[in-house]
Amino acid sequence: MIIDRKKLREKRKRRIRAKVSGSAKRPRLCLFVSLKGAYAQAIDDNSGKTVISADIKEAKVKNNIAGLEILGKLMAKKCVEKKISEVVFDRSGRKYHGKIKSFADSAREGGLKF
Average pLDDT, integer, range 89-99: 90
Contacts of 37 (CB under 8 A, 6+ apart): 55, 56, 57, 63
Domain count within the chain: 1
Residue 94's CATH number: 3.30.420.100
d(CA 69, CA 82) in angstroms, rounded, equals: 20
What is the percent of the chain where pLDDT is above 70?
99
* End-to-end Cα spacing for the chain: 38
pLDDT digits (tens, 9 = 90+) for 45-61: 889 899 999 999 999 99
Radius of gyration of the CA atoms of the chain, in A: 14
8 Å CB contact between 86 and 25: yes
d(CA 16, CA 78) in angstroms, rounded, equals: 25
d(CA 104, CA 91) in angstroms, rounded, equals: 9
Domain around 28: 5-109
What pLDDT score does 19 carry? 84
Nearest Cα residue to 112 out of 54, 67, 33: 54
Q: Is there a domain that residue 26 lies in? A: yes
pTM of structure: 0.87
**Exposed e or buried b per residue across 14-38, where buried means at least 16 C-beta atoms within 10 angstroms of its C-beta:** eeeeeeeebeeebbbbbbebeeeeb
Q: Is there a domain that residue 114 lies in? A: no
